[in-house]
Amino acid sequence: VYSHEPPGYVCPFCNLDAAGQLPGNVYRGERASAFISNRWWPNNRGHVLIVPNAHHENLYDLPAEDGYAVFDLTQKLARAMREVYGCDGVSTRQHNEPAGDQHVWHFHQHLFPRYRGDRLYESAPIEGSAPAEELARYAEILRAALAAV
Amino acid sequence: VYSHEPPGYVCPFCNLDAAGQLPGNVYRGERASAFISNRWWPNNRGHVLIVPNAHHENLYDLPAEDGYAVFDLTQKLARAMREVYGCDGVSTRQHNEPAGDQHVWHFHQHLFPRYRGDRLYESAPIEGSAPAEELARYAEILRAALAAV
């Protein structure tokens, strides 16, 4: 129900390597994984996407166990991000269907570092993909923070 | 850690009656509850807040069982909202700390009905509280949809 995935869709979040997301890989768990998004907002660089490993398009049909794994990983990363990004807060968002701003047809939760006056909601994302070395730099910082917890 | 709740804070989400939120009451569960927010965005009226019943300020410290209950209830309401609001999608957001746009010091997840071209992120909320009869109307629609599932 309410599916927008076209026939033959090659899912970028099931094929992180092909999609050039691997440099930003932060964590691979049994049910959920996290990586630095390669689509950046100007004042909130290095934000994280948390996804179920299994392919599910959106919130309506996500199995509970996957939803719980996404929650656990989001919380862990929220704590880690708050410690090591130098941000003043964090926020999440999760989009369903084109009218809900969804662009990739695999459930994903955004976790943003927040800074005073960052105007996240009024900003447009930066065009193009963030550079691989920048993805790798943020991923490395977060991985180290996770390991230290 | 990272707490912004002032001493003697009277929590509006622990005192929904006093806060005038009760007309919008949608669901009271063992661990999590939902009600229509009385703060409305112009093109996304009747959005829902999902909260743990226990008082926890933010995502960093939310117990896992409460996080799971919030997920379960958010998903149920997302399906119900999609069925009965006539919207074209839904999205969630969750804010932590003042820099992250948090204004009430009790963890809450927003669930928004989304419509094509609604410009949710570029819109400012409507000043003042939504009228009690409007809160009650949306709550009634959602309660009926939940009961029908």
Q: How far apart are CA A65 and CA A52, in angstroms?
A: 9
How many other CB atoms sit within 10 Å of the CB of residue B121? 15
What token pair was written down for A68? 């719980």
pLDDT band at B22 (very low <50, low <70, confident <90, very high): confident
> How close B84 gets to chain A, by Cα (Å)?
14
The string of pLDDT tens digits covering residues A101-127 is: 999 999 999 999 999 999 999 999 999
Contact B98 A87 (CB under 8 A): no
Q: How far apart are CA B94 and CA B100, in angstroms?
A: 9
Q: Is B95 exposed, middle or buried (0-12, 13-18, 19+ CB in 10 A)?
A: buried
| ipTM for this model | 0.95
The string of pLDDT tens digits covering residues A14-46 is: 987 766 668 899 999 999 999 999 999 999 999
Spell out which chain A residues touch chain B, with contact meaning CB-CB distance below 8 angstroms.
2, 59-60, 62, 64, 67-68, 70-72, 74-75, 78-79, 82, 87-102, 114-118, 120-122
Q: How far apart are CA A108 and CA B27, in angstroms?
A: 26
Q: What is the pTM of this model?
A: 0.96
Task: Name which of A54-63, B10-19, B49-58, B111-120 the model is least confident about.
Answer: B10-19
> How close B91 gets to chain A, by Cα (Å)?
5
Q: How far apart are CA B89 and CA B67, in angstroms?
A: 23
Contact A97 B114 (CB under 8 A): yes
Contact B89 A97 (CB under 8 A): yes
> How close B145 gets to chain A, by Cα (Å)?
15
The alpha carbon of B122 is separated from its chain's Cα centroid by a whole number of angstroms, namely 19
